[in-house]
Amino acid sequence: MRFGVVRFPGSCDEVDALLACRRFADAELLWHGDADLGGVDAVVIPGGFSYGDYLRVGAIARFSPVMGAIGDFARSGGHVLGICNGFQVLCEAGLLPGALLPNTGLRFLCRQVEVEVVTADTPFTRACAPGDRLAIPVKHTSGRYYAPPQVLEGLQAHGQIILRYAPGDNPNGSVADIAAVSNGARNVMGLMPHPEHAVDPLTGSTDGGRLFESLARHVAERLAA
Amino acid sequence: MKARVLIHPKEGILDPQGQAVERALPALGFEGVREVRVGRLIELEIDDPARVPEMCERLLANPLIEDYEVQSDYEPRSRAK
């Protein structure tokens, strides 16, 4: 099982994401200008400021060659995890519902938050149980998840809300405290918190590792089947 | 031909920037200001202005969260010398 971690101009968390993936599987970097994924088994789109966040966060990155390949990969059932800027890119690309708006407090936030696992029967959270609390840091300026009311109802009805900020710990004004959502088929997930920064006791929590572990195990089992 | 695209947050979407501006104005004595919304302006030179709405839908705006308004044929205000 091999992860591919995308590097855009302006990415800054791709190395942490790569190292987090390598705790559970093989992993390599993918270049934004390449239109093929080099045969990787799952894709991680990391955090950062792809293309300088010009125009809107994620708006330009979605037109890069690698995103065309990731769209095809996702539509054929491939697993894609978007973290922070990666979540924003996936929303702009239409691979996830909704959009990320500037934080209600208009400030860059950088702190540990508690998130609650809402849906555990997904490839990204299967090492967790519903209601589990994970301590994972956030660091962003545009993390306010928004979806129009009818879309939000659909997300709730189909179990696509995967993580929520714990009560009282919503840092950015996200609707319904949403920290992570998936697409309908649950093979694409985006989240604002940074699980790749929470894989080593040195940085205060290893809870983020459970998401990488979930995905590595899920994809490895699928490959073996 | 020159065209302008005005982009602003969709109605009903919280605009904290607009709110911050709205709160700042009375402090300078500008009373009676309501519903401040902050957006952005894109100016472009284009051969076929009929294509601007499509550009807005696909790149310049995110129709899920933003409304846009296209003005073409406008007379740019001459700069004071």
B28 touches chain A (CB under 8 A): no
**For the residues A5-17, what does the mean pLDDT come to?**
97
Number of structural domains chain B divides into: 1
CB B5 within 8 A of CB B69: yes
- Report d(CA B55, CA B43) in Å as an integer: 13
- Residue B81 in domain: no
pTM summary value: 0.94
Cβ <8 Å between A55 and B60: yes
Residue A58 has pLDDT above 90, yes or no: yes
Give, for A31, the enclosing helix (H) or strand (E): strand A26-31
- Residue B78 in domain: no
The answer to which of A132-146, A159-173, A209-223, B65-79 has the lowest mean pLDDT is: B65-79
Q: Closest-CA residue in chain B for A57?
A: B62
**For the residues B47-64, what does the mean pLDDT come to?**
94
The minimum CA-CA distance between B1 and chain A, rounded to whole Å, is: 22
Query: Mind listing the pLDDT tens digit for each residue in A173-183?
Result: 999 999 999 99
Cβ <8 Å between A92 and B62: yes
Query: Any idea where the domains of chain A sit in the sequence?
Result: 2-224
**For the residues A178-204, what does the mean pLDDT come to?**
97
Residue B77 has pLDDT above 90, yes or no: no
Predicted confidence at residue B75, as pLDDT, reads 58
Residue recorded with tokens 């979540």: A87
- Report d(CA A91, CA A67) in Å as an integer: 12
CATH code: domain of residue B53: 3.30.1280.10
Query: Mind listing the pLDDT tens digit for each residue in A90-118?
Result: 999 999 999 999 999 999 999 999 999 99
Active site residue A196: yes
B58 touches chain A (CB under 8 A): no
Predicted confidence at residue B78, as pLDDT, reads 52
Q: Which CATH architecture has domain A2-224?
A: 3-Layer(aba) Sandwich (3.40)
A141 touches chain B (CB under 8 A): no
- Residue B45 in domain: yes
- Residue B68 in domain: yes
- Residue B36 in domain: yes
pLDDT band at residue B81 under the 50/70/90 scheme = very low
- As given in the structure block, the two tokens for residue A80 are 């894609």
Contacts of A173 in chain B (CB under 8 A): 14
- As given in the structure block, the two tokens for residue A90 are 């996936």
Of the candidates A70, A4, A12, the one whose C-alpha atom is nearest the C-alpha of residue A42 is A4
Cβ <8 Å between B62 and A105: no
Predicted confidence at residue B72, as pLDDT, reads 80
- Report d(CA A58, CA A171) in Å as an integer: 20
Predicted confidence at residue A166, as pLDDT, reads 98
pLDDT band at residue B1 under the 50/70/90 scheme = confident
Residue B80 has pLDDT above 70, yes or no: no
Q: CA–CA distance from A217 to each of A36, A66, A78, A120, A209 (Å)? A: 24, 25, 14, 14, 12
So what's the ipTM on this one?
Answer: 0.85
A101 touches chain B (CB under 8 A): yes
Query: Mind listing the pLDDT tens digit for each residue in A111-164?
Result: 999 999 999 999 999 999 999 999 999 999 999 999 999 999 999 999 999 999
- Residue B23 in domain: yes
| CA quadruple A124, A128, A131, A132: dihedral, nearest 10 | -110
DSSP SS3 for A160? coil
- Residue B77 in domain: no
**For the residues A195-218, what does the mean pLDDT come to?**
97
- Report d(CA A138, CA B77) in Å as an integer: 44
Q: B36: domain range?
A: 2-72
